[in-house]
A and B are shown apart, each in its own frame.
Chain A
């Protein structure tokens, strides 16, 4: 079976789902064939204020900007962030995130005369670098401290970076236009050339 045939099979399976006894006792959210579901970051959410939304978008884009490939805003990372803060962070994490966001919202116009999202790229970067310097002692930065769920008391800048990077590389744009995506490799070869500018494969299992 080649790749095209396989995808045809998959399409048949998907179209047959509605007619089968599937999901007889599954919960509602499990009745979806996930490969057919809408992208997570297209979900509706109304957690941030309009002003905060502009700041969050500018923060995410400063961390992962558009270059010759899509950036955070292209990959709907701001929506991902709002969904995660609203529905995934626990109360303590939410408090840290909200306080950090409110700090930028209120402090930056006083210091720079303009809100964060209206500043130039260099000033935006300076602001984030200052936050990172202030948080430099956090264990979040420890080498190899990545095999874990989430560090609940990590400073705002760390939470922001973690969720932004996650939201970007697990998005469709990040996962298939910045990383390389091949859902149906059909064979395994453990020794193919890697050129210096080649990207990683997108992860099939994220932790």
Chain B
């Protein structure tokens, strides 16, 4: 009873996105009373998806984007995100209302959601396991510090989260991309079968497989298999793609142990030097500006890499003058993102009499084939990259600038054109001390919280990876039989554009050079866990969300066992 009075909650989770949703689910299911704090607006699954299934004729300007509004209020979100439109604008951060200190000379694009569910509503849904080689990369080539965790430690947790998430894909047995627990894969376009056969013959060093994605092809409890309407990013009222709104938050709610507070910006965590732990979280209600504080036994930061790091930096105290849990001095540093972008677009005249039914919400994937198992002799880079592919049939949108008028023009525009098969490279980024975020000394937001500043540049390794990805894309598109190739231009994406920012509170065995231990627990503050992208010690080249989920579930298991043992 004394225990119960001592704390407002057993656990407080900051953030309700991919990681926060998992923390909420795991901790509530293990019997903890959990408060989830979300800075964004409330949003109801289903009825909050205002643009879902709206045809173009219902959209403002029939889908043409309101340029002036976006320039004035969403200059970052509208630039960084392919999926930003009037059909889902309510999910996104208003950059004018919630700015960060943009250095125009060194731009970093920070994509942010602003609703319950966070970026899990608008993510790309690609889900890939890391390999043994990924976890050993830093130790092998000496960049960054070694991971304190190996593939064998995390593999059971991958399986655990995959069964709940629902991932469709095809088993390939590749060492560089371990198979997940798969639902049945989505079917292919005829052109993709054609390309697959040609690549097997002419480019046997690569594997063309299904994009592994968190979209159901088989029903799960409370969620339906995909109905192939197409634009997932508008929200999915059948819960066919994984989001915390469709999956983890309902599970947490079902336990009766969840309290969720939206419109709640976390200002700072209060460290108690007497106990050596965090005592309270200080919150500002974004509507009333009321200041509140909540206490708990343990705290999970899942506010996204930049958000969580900002909170730690703003929680400096006498005990931690350089930011909470930052005795090592690495907080905010070793930031990574993936470079991404089209490496080649092929036009194909094969399978012209074949068409499709339904909008498949994923492409195919070509897993890493460079430096696999060891360093390739001709590679002027370490690590590797993978390609996400897109298969499209040209329509009026690719030919509206044709010459001509009248019935002939109308008739040619209404019919399908040639096929397009495009390769987009996602390349690994090395952890470097100089790539960092920090708090502005003079700019604050509307709550008086210092704004975030970024200082991030690609290194030669990323540039060389990107060049190699473009070169091999050309080779693969030729082998695939493209009649015309629009080549990639080696252009680097802007930092942040990958929306895979990570690494600012990395984990490691040595407290002198890392913020977190192997269980996502702060070396310096035992009741603090960070399980969003900030914990990442290296970046791999695959999309990271699945790894955040697995580590979150594992950290929750560890934390609750520590509580049971009386350690926490």
Contacts and interface: CB of A to CB of B under 8 A. Distances in A.
The prevalent SS among residues of B at the interface is: loop
B50 A185 contact: no
Contact of A202 (B55, B68, B89, B357): B55
Contact of A84 (B54, B59, B64): B64
A63 B47 contact: no
B414 A32 contact: no
A10 to B, nearest CB: 7
Contacts of A112: none
Interface string B300-324: 0000000000000000000000000
A178 B414 contact: yes
B418 to A, nearest CB: 12
A169 B360 contact: no
Contacts of A181: 55
A141 B399 CA distance: 10
Contacts of B230: 204-205
Given A84-B64, A185-B359, A40 B57 contact: yes
B358 interface: yes
B401 A203 contact: no
Interface stretch (B104-112, B188-196, B501-509): B188-196
Contacts of B380: none
B263 interface: yes
Contacts of B193: 191
A175 B410 CA distance: 13
Interface string B185-221: 0111110110000000000000000000000000000
Interface in B234-266: 237-238, 263
Interface string A155-196: 000100110011101111001101101111111111111100
A55 to B, nearest CB: 16
A145 B41 CA distance: 39
B57 A39 contact: yes
Contacts of B231: 204-205
A10 B355 contact: no
Interface in A1-45: 1, 6, 9-10, 13, 16-17, 20-22, 24-26, 29-41
Interface stretch (B390-398, B487-495, B558-566): B390-398
A206 interface: yes
A167 B396 CA distance: 12
B405 to A, nearest CB: 5
Given A30-B90, A190-B360, A205-B230, A149 B406 contact: no
Contacts of A141: 401, 403
A119 interface: no
A117 to B, nearest CB: 16
Nearest to B287: A25
B401 A185 contact: no
Interface stretch (A46-54, A95-103, A125-133): A125-133
A150 B70 CA distance: 14
A90 B71 CA distance: 13
A194 B48 contact: no
B90 A26 contact: yes
Contacts of B189: 190-191
Interface in B405-439: 405-407, 409-411, 413-416
A77 B356 CA distance: 29
Interface residues of B, number: 78
Which residue among B53, B90, B231, B395 has the maximum number of chain A CB atoms within 10 Å of its CB? B53
B57 A41 contact: yes
Contacts of B399: 146
Given A17-B47, A24-B41, A198 B415 contact: yes
Nearest to B233: A205
Contacts of B55: 35, 172, 175-176, 181, 183, 202
Given A165-B396, A178-B410, A63 B58 contact: no
Nearest to B64: A88
Contacts of A84: 61, 64
B192 A190 contact: yes
A188 B352 contact: no
Given A189-B358, A190-B189, A67 B407 contact: yes
Contacts of A120: none
Given A10-B53, A20-B47, A188-B360, A145 B61 contact: no
Contacts of B192: 190
A128 B330 CA distance: 65
A129 to B, nearest CB: 7
B476 to A, nearest CB: 20
A110 interface: no
Interface in B88-103: 89-90
Contacts of A186: 227-228, 358
A33 to B, nearest CB: 5
Contact of B405 (A129, A179, A198): A129
B93 to A, nearest CB: 13
Contacts of B227: 1, 6, 184-186
A181 B51 CA distance: 17
A204 B67 contact: no
A1 B238 contact: yes
Nearest to B404: A132
B163 to A, nearest CB: 22
Contacts of A37: 54, 58
B355 A13 contact: no
Contacts of B407: 65, 67
Nearest 8 CB-CB pairings of A with B? A185-B358, A34-B54, A188-B358, A204-B230, A190-B189, A194-B355, A170-B56, A206-B63
25 contacts: A9-B237, A21-B42, A21-B44, A26-B41, A30-B89, A34-B87, A80-B62, A129-B405, A144-B486, A165-B413, A167-B62, A170-B56, A172-B57, A178-B414, A184-B53, A185-B229, A188-B187, A188-B226, A190-B192, A190-B356, A191-B356, A194-B353, A199-B414, A200-B414, A204-B359
